[in-house]
Amino acid sequence: MTVDMTAAEVEEKKPELEKAIQNSGIRGSVSVAAKSSRRLLSPVVSTTVEVTVLTDDSGSESITQSLADSNFPATLATEISATTGQTVSITVLSNAPSTSEYTVDYTCDGDWQTYCNSYIDLIDAICGGDPCTHDHEATCEQHFLSHGQAEIEGGFRKAPNCLEFSSSSICSGATSFEAALKYCNSYIDFMDTICAGVQCQSDLDAIKCIHHYSDHGMDEISDGVRPAPNCGQSVPNTICGGNSLDYCNFYPDIAALLCSGTCNSNPLHLIKCSNHYWNNGKSEIEAFTRPTPC
């Protein structure tokens, strides 16, 4: 298909595009790749996007029927706009998708360490509750051969996420783990439930954050149930001169809730105050249910 996005935008918004395609009725595991870009009418740029869907025979038939529907391009454009936050249109859509047999790989390309780290129960059972390392690869491989493959194919265990997490499209970071930590530290409830009430910092925290995003967070954000992550941003300069602590301390209820009375330079206070603004305060201030601070 062809969308009026740049190739860079397609790469940056891959998870959102894949979710939008699934929301449009395409059943299966979806992956997208930008193939080529060309300028239409300046400054509009069109990018050809190759869509790969792993599905069964009935799913393949369903996809063919969807593509034959004249309303499908508009439906897909609406879903993409909803998940990416930018208005797009589908200008070209292939009516004759090619199909081929495909054997699904559940081994993370034979990286058994990553296979185990795709499941919290295996981290606990095989690796003692810490991230699995090369020392655990033989045991992880044996688990897959003895139990995992049958569990996945039987629908009793999800396919491994192989710790896939973009280091740029959700939160930016030098590594996917760094980006995942920024994602979790954007939400007070994640810090409480995933990281025991403190700032998420460890590799195990990052793994748990990746699991949360793939299992819940991506859907919650795209469905509007959860605001987009702030990725470590402080409050804007228009709010208390950009001072998160002054923002919290302006409101006695927030200071009591987050800081037991007065917020100070404790790093946890700084993070929680910023998170409160982006996740709650901003919308409350804009809706005039909370007065403008400072």
pTM: 0.69
**Among all chains, which residue has been given the structure tokens 């996945």?**
152
pLDDT of residue 248: 97
Q: How far is CA 181 from CA 17, 162, 222, in A?
A: 23, 17, 19
CA 220 to chain centroid: 9
Instruction: Give the count of domains, the chain.
Output: 4
Closest CA to 280 of 260, 259, 251, 241: 251
Residue pair 111/105 in contact (Cβ under 8 Å)? The answer is no
Cβ neighbours, 10 Å, residue 264:
11
Residue pair 106/148 in contact (Cβ under 8 Å)? The answer is yes
For residues 76 and 12, state if they share a domain: yes
* 125 found inside a domain: yes
For residues 31 and 83, state if they share a domain: yes
* 98 found inside a domain: no
Q: Convert the pLDDT of each residue in 166-217 to its tens digit.
A: 877 789 899 999 999 999 999 999 999 999 999 999 999 999 999 999 889 9
pLDDT of 101 higher than 70: no
For residues 10 and 87, state if they share a domain: yes
For residues 205 and 266, state if they share a domain: no
Q: Convert the pLDDT of each residue in 5-63 to its tens digit.
A: 877 787 778 878 888 888 887 767 777 777 765 554 445 566 777 777 666 666 677 77
For residues 13 and 71, state if they share a domain: yes
Task: Provide mean pLDDT across the span 137-150.
Answer: 96
* 281 found inside a domain: yes
For residues 65 and 8, state if they share a domain: yes
Q: Convert the pLDDT of each residue in 216-244 to its tens digit.
A: 998 888 888 899 999 999 999 999 999 99
Domain ranges, residue 122: 112-153
For residues 6 and 88, state if they share a domain: yes
- Helix, strand, coil content of the chain in percent (nearest 5): 50, 10, 40
Q: Convert the pLDDT of each residue in 75-84 to its tens digit.
A: 888 888 888 8
* 102 found inside a domain: no
* 195 found inside a domain: yes
Q: Convert the pLDDT of each residue in 241-278 to its tens digit.
A: 999 999 999 999 999 999 999 999 999 999 999 999 99
